[in-house]
Structure 1
């Protein structure tokens, strides 16, 4: 899918989704209010910068990065699971210059696994995950992002999360809505959470707050940052 196609279909979101954040989520219990405000402002600025840099990448560069990431993803999953047969793996429908892993996701069926996509059913609530194949009928979901048109919710064993930014402790900077954090916090047992993004999006820290949930690993086009498997 080209950038032009993305734009023509209206999949883009604003640089900062602060207006989508539930006030209760943004309260950042246990932190100093002024510090929380400064962190929010810093994240907004970094998010805009990183999204701008990502948007400037060529389609060829994005494809090359995705091609470098998928074998590393396979290697990481092989270390965690003897086989993928019977497992459910959630990824995403790419928007706004995100890495496109749909070919890899579509290939899971041949390995006995089930692919899924995240769906926003209620704003400021945890995500649902719905099964997906390349033949699945799609409809426009939250912010016009394509989602499966029908079918029951499924529970993922593995959640792949796109990264706007990330740090060496495994914390991810997303679009600001908090959906992945809310979702992971509510799943028991918690799935294996893997962040996928560009090496250039690495930050010294995202200044994690109490609501932030770290990924168990981060994969970029240059390698795998394996983190605490107990998370």
Structure 2
């Protein structure tokens, strides 16, 4: 199956989940994420605002706020084809970027290499750390530094997914940045501790 058809199939599968199934999955993933050593050690956590059937990290966000973590949202830099991360206090105004994605306005920015834990959405994943995104390349360009030097302890990259998004094996290209772990509603796939 070509990558465009695979994206279409996996996006349709996650959108087909009922609201109750979506909520149950979000709660299960939040429990698993909070059990990770990387979560316990993280002071800054990058999250996202779910759309299009993505696993919603809102339950996890609420807990992280209670735990006093600094939450961040991606801020796209279209001219550079990458992203950085803006602090996301609960009261921060969100403004839609040119793609219609809400981003915090007027809050401090963090470079990708300065974030402790990155929770990322995905379209598909495999048990080997492979991630299929939307195809824009923002994730891979933003974390490309991880491909050219010894792996630092941060950022720890975790994909959040529904079990229906798992595939046997994704084609890995030289520029693909692997995830350290994927956590779904039915389990976790850890690549590194």
TM-score (norm 1): 0.74
Structure 1 residue 103 displacement after superposition: 3.5
Counterpart for residue 119 of structure 1: 75
State whether residues 120 and 142 of structure 1, in contact with CA within 8 Å, keep that contact through their aligned partners in structure 2: no
**Which structure would you say has the larger Rg?**
1
RMSD: 1.9
2:174 matched to 1:210?
yes
Question: What is residue 117 of structure 2 aligned with on the other side?
Answer: 158
Show the 5 A alignment for 1:1-231.
Answer: 42-76=2-36, 79-80=37-38, 83-84=41-42, 87-123=43-79, 125-154=81-110, 155-186=114-145, 189=152, 190-229=154-193
| C-alpha distance 228-93 of structure 1, shift in aligned 2 (>3 A) | same
Do the aligned partners of 1:117 and 1:129 also contact (CA within 8 Å) in 2? Answer: yes
Long gaps (5+) in structure 2? none
Q: Distance in 2 between matches of 1:71 and 1:206?
A: 27
Hey, which of these two has a bigger chunk of strand by percent? 2
Aligned residues: 185
Conserved 8 A contact 2:96-2:102: yes
Displacement of 1:158 in angstroms is 0.7
With over 3 angstroms needed to count, the CA separation of the structure-2 counterparts of 1:107 and 1:81, relative to structure 1, is: closer
| Residues 159, 192 of structure 1: 8 Å contact kept | yes
Counterpart-to-counterpart distance in 1, 2:57 and 2:104: 16
